[in-house]
Every structure is written in C-alpha cells, then in structure tokens.
Amino acid sequence: MHQWLVHFFLGGSPGEFFEERGRRLEKRLVYLIELQKTESAAGRIHVKKRNIPVQANKLEEEFKVFCEVVEAQREQMESLRKRRREKDTQLQEGQQSLKRTRERLFEVKTNKEYQSMLKEIEIFEGKNSRMEDEVISLLDELDRLEAALKDKEEELEARHRRYEEEKTRMEAELNSLAGELDGCVRKSEELKKEIPAELLRKYEQIKGAGRGVAVVAVWKEVCDGCHMSIPPQLYNELQKTTAMITCPNCNRIIYWENRNG
Ligand SMILES: [Zn+2]
C-alpha cells in the first residue's frame, strides 16, 4: 500500500461502494464529501446572512444623506422666501414714503425747500428702484431653486420607493437564507448518521486544523485546499482508489473530481 493511502477501517463496511462516472468510492467517503459540501454551503450562507444587514445599513445611510441634502435645499428655499417677503415690505414702505414726499411737494413755500424736496424724491426713487431690482433677482433665484427642489423631491420619492423595495427584498432574502441554512443543518445531521464516528472525529479534527475545510477535491494534480501540486504517482492512485487519501501538503482528506464535463 502506498504511503499516502490511508484506510480507515473504522466501522461501516469497506465493501459498500458508490459508483459515479465510472468511479468507485467507499460509501462512507461519499457521505463525508457530501457532508463537507453541505457544511461549506452553510458557511457561504452564513457569510451572506452577515452581509445583508451591512448592505441594509449602507443603503439606509445613503438614503439619509440624500434626505439631508433635500432638507438643506428646503431650508435655503424658506430663507429665500422670507427675504423676499422682507424686501416686499421694505419696497412698499419706500413707495409710501415717496408718495408722501410727492404730496408734500405741493405744500412747500420756498424754492429752496422745493429743490431740497426734489432731491429727497430723487433719492427715494433711486432706493426704490434698487429694491425693485433686488426683488426681481430674488424672484429669479426662487424660480431656479423651486425647479431644482422639485427635481430633488421627485428623486427623493423614487429613492424612497427603491429603498423600501430593497429593504423588503433583503428581508425576503434573509428568510430564504434561514430556510436554506435549516436545510443544510438537517442534511448534515442525516449525513453524519451514515458516517462512522471515528471517521467523523477525524473529519472534525482536520476541519479544526485546516481553517474549516477537511475534505477537498483534487483536479489536474492540484489540491483545492492548499493549491499545491500533489505528486503524479499519488494523483494516479487517487483516481483509482476507492479509499481515503490525505494531501501530503495540507493533510486534508482529498478525492479526485473529474471536471471534464
Ligand atoms: Zn492540500
């Protein structure tokens, strides 16, 4: 027997074989391979389950940031409207003052008084005209902001819908992953019943030492566990044997997997 060939005559009958693609393997080894695949699948589901809340938080954060941007624009708009109201009031007051001064023009007695009042009227007119310009430019700015805010609010609504949809989808995915995980756990339990206790212990022991994976495939002489090449002689042996072999590099249980379709 080759030095790498390890037989575990530990319970179960070595005479029970499983055939696949012309390949014969001990049944308990087939169960062990299936157990590893099931546990690896469960591990991937765990990772996905952990990632979903992270994605959900990121999504919520992005949505909150956008809400804040819209809120800031709303506030800017409000303060602009307030300034516009103030300017309107000032302009009305200015127009009133101008009107009163013009009325007083008819009451003056001297030319000097008349001239100074004309000067006063001129100043009021200038001030009012500047205020009118300011109101017009405020109105322009308000129009521009209103249009921009309308776009932003539409986008906010669309984002809110997408956010709610994503949240619902994530919740559904979490539920379905929980179901898949349950399935894996049940399947693992069933498989473990078919594997002799000593072999299972060996499996757990390698799993503990090998960062979670004890059984790996080998294809074209490369071990899936350590990604190192195994000796050609061992590779030949691996393709023919019905028993268990471990990788000389990483010590994981290896099996030959025909990846030619
Ligand atoms: Zn290896």
Give the model confidence (pLDDT) of 63-84 as tens digits: 999 999 999 999 999 999 999 9
Structure tokens at 96: 């009133």
Q: How many angstroms separate the Cα of 213 from the Cα of each of 133, 206, 227?
A: 77, 7, 13
pLDDT one-digit tens code per residue, 180-237: 999 999 999 999 999 999 999 999 999 988 678 999 999 999 999 999 999 999 999 9
Degrees to nearest 5, angle at CA 172 with 168 and 175 = 140
Q: Name every residue whose Cβ is closer than 8 Å to that of residue 157 and which is 6 or more positions away in sequence.
A: none
- 16 Cα: distance to centroid of ligand 1 (angstroms): 27
pLDDT at 3 over 50: no
Nearest CA to 33 out of 192, 215, 206 is that of 215
4 pLDDT band, cuts 50/70/90, is very low
- 41 Cα: distance to centroid of ligand 1 (angstroms): 20
- 93 Cα: distance to centroid of ligand 1 (angstroms): 90
- 48 Cα: distance to centroid of ligand 1 (angstroms): 26
Q: In this structure, how many other beta carbons lie within 10 angstroms of the beta carbon of residue 45?
A: 19
- 230 Cα: distance to centroid of ligand 1 (angstroms): 8
pLDDT value at position 98? 94
pLDDT value at position 22? 65
Q: For residue 26, which phi and psi values (nearest 5 degrees)? A: -60, 140
- 249 Cα: distance to centroid of ligand 1 (angstroms): 5
- 104 Cα: distance to centroid of ligand 1 (angstroms): 106
Nearest CA to 66 out of 192, 158, 147, 186 is that of 158
How much is the pTM? 0.70
10 pLDDT band, cuts 50/70/90, is very low
Where are the strands (E) in the chain, listed by range? 5-6, 17-20, 23-26, 215-219, 222-223, 244-246, 253-256
pLDDT (average), residues 16-41: 85
pLDDT value at position 21? 65
pLDDT value at position 247? 95
Q: Are 232 and 4 in contact (CB under 8 A)?
A: no
Q: In this structure, how many other beta carbons lie within 10 angstroms of the beta carbon of residue 188?
A: 16
pLDDT (average), residues 23-28: 81
